[in-house]
Amino acid sequence: MIKYLLKRIFWMVPLLVGISLVSFLIMHLAPGDITTTEASFNPKASEESRQKLREIYNLDKPVIVQYGLWLKRMATLDFGTSFATHQRPVFWQTIDAQGNVSKGMIQDALPITLLINVVSLALIIATALPLGIVSALTQNRVPDRAITMFVFIGFAIPGFWLALMLMYWTGVVHDWLPISGLHSLGYENMSWFAKISDTLRHIFLPVFISSLGGLAGISLFVRNGMLDVLHQDYITTARAKGLPENTVIYGHALRNALLPLITILGLSIPGLIGGSVIAESIFAIPGMGKLFYDAVLMRDFPVIMGILTIGSALTLIGNLLADVAYAWADPRVRRGIAQ
Amino acid sequence: MKKVLANPLALAGFAIIAAILLLALFAPLIAPFDPNAIDVKAILLSPSPQHLMGTDGLGRDVFSRMLFGARISLLVGIVAVGIATAIGVVLGAVSGYYRGWVDVAIMRLVDVMLSIPTFFLILAVIAFLTPSIWNIMIVIGLTSWMGVTRLVRAEFLSLRGREFVMASQTLGATDGRLIFRHLLPNSLTPIIVSSVLGVASAVLVESGLSFLGLGVQAPQASWGNILTDGKEYIQFAWWLSLFPGLAILITVLGYNLLGEGLRDALDPRSSNATSKK
């Protein structure tokens, strides 16, 4: 098991290099760089000064050389500084000679996105499980039909549209919930309890929006998994030997139906991270999605590359955790790994 | 085909898609107004018999814009999925048929692409290129071929071991004949199902991009950008935000129903037990 783990972690390195190479090439093959945005707002910027800017940022070198330089800095976890926002460090805080702390952009944004995604995942699991089980147990009857309908609508509803409608309904018409940002004014002076409830009120809608798609997908998945398992021979055996129906369903069927769910949850991470762009832009939440959107508009290469790398690394870690959890939950898989 | 039409899901999906396709196709004939005609005397009118879905901030008829927007959404969805399917089928076929190092290389590339949060990648590329519907189609296509690749590869791997393929091989069939006469036709069902479902997600991605202002650009109408315009007026003109969202919802629902229905009807191994009865 330990050997398997080490091997998996070791494999993440070439995979990450591959991911960063693909992202880097795509980024740099597209026309336009920071000088076409930043300098175009400044009428005094001549072609000469733009060229100078490019030299400072190494943008005049061939793409592969730039990638080499970037990779070399990455080896020491140096994500560089932003081109656009006052040279803030991309990843983690730096302290200069005068002792001034300059906080990292991803350092600020990542916990916010993680918070929203972790709460979303918890909500997805807590709701999708019962929905899927009920759906499977009442197959083709009214509850199943209703849940399936909800699933299809959940798949099809555009998140940003629902966000807009809910924002209008709960925030403008009724004033139940705050419509943007992460904290209210005067957040610093609140008691810790008020702080938590304030944050929860702010992330309620974003969490709801970002879990809806996953909710639909996972309940359908649980339903189909349960139905598959319920047709297996060992379930018939369990019933035949007179076990109570509850033991059959929750003891025998559910445990086996849930196994593949672990992998699916691991695979849903890039979607959740990607989906944060829309939710965060609509609700003006300063997370990774918003940061990425702003960076893209400014053609801020170091920030774009930093977020793509961190996002991909999170995905890989998520998949690894899912596989480890799978092995932990299923002795058959564990034995397969050991061999 | 009979089985498909007997499946209520597939039939409902098919009806929705057909209706929207017809509306989009005959948009110039159906639309009561020029979708880009500005009328300052008719700004933000609420829905009425004359303007079925009201008018927007520039006095343009929303119903007409929605009809022309349907063309964009469907076109982007279908072309993007066409690109993705073409790439996926070629790579998956090569991977599953020849195996060896080509297979390893292609599968590692799939792993890499699947680990990058796709929407981030699409957003980055679109923002660097000039946003146009052609760029959007290409970029969505280039970032969504991985599922089909895995699917085709898995089908090829399992089909290659079957008797009829080995028989044909023993009779001296060429690689090309094996791939195009035997393997590909037998892998068609999952490819079709995943393409239909793919259109649904491409429509959602396009509308999301347009909503963020990086998709189809004004004055060309798309459901996403009608919604973005409507966002500004949400307090006085609900119709600007409601209709485009509903249109996207119904279209995506249609493709999903059709895709799931096709899967049920065509695939005897389908895990969805409605077809088992």
Per-residue pLDDT tens digits for B137-160: 888 998 889 989 999 998 888 888
Supply the pLDDT for residue A148. Answer: 86
What b/e string do you get for B201-226 counting C-beta neighbours within 10 Å, with b at 16 or more?
bbbbbbbbbbbbbbbbeeebbbbbbb
- For chains A and B, CB pairs below 8 A equal 149
Q: What is the DSSP string of A81-104?
A: B-SSSTT-BSSS-EE-TT--EE--
Supply the pLDDT for residue B275. Answer: 37
Instruction: Find tokens 């898989």 and name the residue.
Output: A333
* Residue B67: pLDDT over 60: yes
Supply the pLDDT for residue B62. Answer: 83
Nearest CA to CA, how far is B179 from chain A (Å)?
A: 30
Nearest to A25 by CA among A289, A308, A270: A308
Rounded Cα gap, residues B66 and B53, in angstroms: 9
Contact list in A for residue B276 (CB cut-off 8 A) is 231
Mean pLDDT for the stretch of residues B107-119: 83
Q: What is the pLDDT of residues A61-88, one digit of tens each?
A: 777 877 887 787 777 777 777 766 666 7
Percentage above 90 pLDDT, chain A: 0
Supply the pLDDT for residue B88. Answer: 93
Supply the pLDDT for residue B43. Answer: 74
Query: Are the beta carbons of B37 and B60 closer than 8 angstroms?
Result: yes
Geometric angle at alpha carbon A123, from A287 and B198, rounded to 5°: 75
3-state secondary structure chain B: CHHHHHCHHHHHHHHHHHHHHHHHHCHHHHCCCCCCCCCHHHCCCCCCCCCCCCECCCCCEHHHHHHHHHHHHHHHHHHHHHHHHHHHHHHHHHHHHHCHHHHHHHHHHHHHHHHCCHHHHHHHHHHHCCCCHHHHHHHHHHCCCHHHHHHHHHHHHHHHCCHHHHHHHHCCCCHHHHHHHHHHHHCHHHHHHHHHHHHHHHHHHHHHHHHCCCCCCCCCCCHHHHHHHHHHCCCCCHHHHHHHHHHHHHHHHHHHHHHHHHHHHHCCCCCCHHHCC
Pick from B115, B234, B260: CB nearest A270: B115
A164 and chain B in contact, CB less than 8 A = yes
* Residue A56: pLDDT over 90: no
What b/e string do you get for B19-36 counting C-beta neighbours within 10 Å, with b at 16 or more?
ebbebbeebeeebebebe
Nearest CA to CA, how far is A232 from chain B (Å)?
A: 13
Rounded Cα gap, residues A153 and B257, in angstroms: 10
* Residue A13: pLDDT over 60: yes
Percentage above 90 pLDDT, chain B: 13
Supply the pLDDT for residue B274. Answer: 43
Nearest to B188 by CA among B85, B101, B113: B85
* Residue B50: pLDDT over 90: no
Instruction: Find tokens 């007026």 and name the residue.
Output: B233
Rounded Cα gap, residues B8 and B135, in angstroms: 36
Q: What is the mean pLDDT of chain B?
A: 83
**Whole-prediction pTM:** 0.82
Pick from A19, A164, A311: CB nearest B112: A19
Q: CB within 8 A of B220, min separation 6: which ones? A: B68, B72, B133
B255: closest chain A residue by CA: A156
Contact list in B for residue A291 (CB cut-off 8 A) is none
CB contact under 8 A, A155 and B116: no
In a mutagenesis test of the A interface, which of B116, B118, B263 is the best target, namely the one with the most A β-carbons within 10 Å? B116
Q: Note which residues in 75-134 of chain B have CB less than 8 A from chain A.
A: 108-109, 111-121, 123-125, 127-129
Instruction: Find tokens 């990779």 and name the residue.
Output: A71
Show the tokens assigned to B240. 């600007």
* Residue A282: pLDDT over 50: yes
Most confident of A154-168, A183-197, B41-55: A154-168
Geometric angle at alpha carbon A311, from A308 and A314, rounded to 5°: 150
Which of these ranges, A91-95, A107-111, B151-155, has the smallest mean pLDDT? A91-95
A273 and chain B in contact, CB less than 8 A = yes
Nearest to B36 by CA among B60, B56, B19, B13: B60
Supply the pLDDT for residue A14. Answer: 84
A274 and chain B in contact, CB less than 8 A = yes
Geometric angle at alpha carbon B121, from B21 and B126, rounded to 5°: 60
Supply the pLDDT for residue A339. Answer: 60
Show the tokens assigned to A273. 């991270």
Where residue B276 falls among pLDDT bands split at 50, 70, 90? very low
* Residue A302: pLDDT over 70: yes
* Half-sphere exposure for B48 (CA within 13 Å, toward CB): 8
B212 and chain A in contact, CB less than 8 A = yes
Mean pLDDT for the stretch of residues A262-270: 77
Contact list in A for residue B129 (CB cut-off 8 A) is 30-31
Supply the pLDDT for residue A293. Answer: 86
Rounded Cα gap, residues A336 and A82, in angstroms: 46
Nearest to A52 by CA among A74, A75, A34, A27: A34
CB contact under 8 A, A32 and B252: no
Q: Higher model confidence: residue B94 or residue B131?
A: B94
* Residue A199: pLDDT over 70: yes
Rounded Cα gap, residues A230 and A236, in angstroms: 8
How many other C-beta atoms are found inside a 10 Å radius of the C-beta of residue B189? 16
- ipTM of predicted complex: 0.80
Nearest CA to CA, how far is A84 from chain B (Å)?
A: 16
A89 beta partners: A81
Rounded Cα gap, residues A140 and B12, in angstroms: 17
Contact list in B for residue A275 (CB cut-off 8 A) is 119
Supply the pLDDT for residue B86. Answer: 94
Supply the pLDDT for residue B89. Answer: 92
B245: closest chain A residue by CA: A161
> What are the φ and ψ backbone dihedral angles of A281, each rounded to 5 degrees?
-70, -40
Cβ neighbourhood burial of A320 (10 Å; 0-12, 13-18, 19+): middle
Which of these ranges, A37-41, A225-229, B30-34, B266-270, has the smallest mean pLDDT? A37-41
Contact list in A for residue B215 (CB cut-off 8 A) is none
CB contact under 8 A, A152 and B114: no
Supply the pLDDT for residue B149. Answer: 92
Q: Radius of gyration (Cα) for chain B, nearest Å?
A: 22
Q: CB within 8 A of B57, min separation 6: which ones? A: B43, B44, B229, B232, B233, B237, B240
- What does each C-alpha distance from A170 to A157, A164, A166, A177, B209 come to in angstroms? 18, 10, 6, 6, 25
